[in-house]
Amino acid sequence: MNVTDVDSRPRLGQIVRVLRGREAGTYAIVIGLEAPHFVWLADGNQRKFDRPKKKNVKHIQVTNVVAGEVADVLEEFGRVNNAKLRYALNQYLLQNAKHEQKGE
């Protein structure tokens, strides 16, 4: 991923898959951006909003899904509760599981 490309850079509220590190294979939500190479990730369960993980954008895989409710709350208030993070991730994972069962 070219971090200078505006379209490929993660956005607030975007769901990403962690590729490297202890949490490899898990999903998280971008709750902060630190230009140009880092993002702050939280999932509301293991990684709470108060203790996010700083991750290099090279070590994550950006999905094309943005949790709209999370993004709106982050932009308006600057923080989001962990329940919203968990809910958004669970909805994404359930939707993904349905598509895999259908063979799409």
Distance CA 14, CA 47 (A): 16
Examine residue 65 and state whether it is found in any structural domain, yes or no: yes
Give domain status of residue 86, yes or no: yes
How do residues 23-57 score in pLDDT, each as one tens digit? 999 999 999 999 889 999 999 999 999 999 999 99
User: What pLDDT, in 10s, does the model give residues 5-22?
Assistant: 455 789 999 999 999 999
Q: How far apart are the first and last CA of the chain?
A: 25
Say what the pLDDT of residue 48 is.
96
User: Domain for residue 1, yes or no?
Assistant: no
What is the C-alpha separation between 76 and 28, in angstroms, rounded? Answer: 20
Parent domain of 74 = 6-102
Dump pLDDT digits (tens) for 62-75.
Answer: 999 999 999 999 99
What pLDDT is attached to residue 79?
92
CATH code: domain of residue 98? 2.30.30.30
Give the whole-angstrom CA distance, residue 37 versus residue 55: 8
Beta bridge mates, 42? 29
E-strand stretches of 4-70: 14-18, 27-34, 38-42, 53-56, 60-66
As for how many domains the chain has, the answer is 1
Give the per-residue pLDDT at 17: 96
Residue 99 pLDDT class (50, 70, 90 cuts): confident
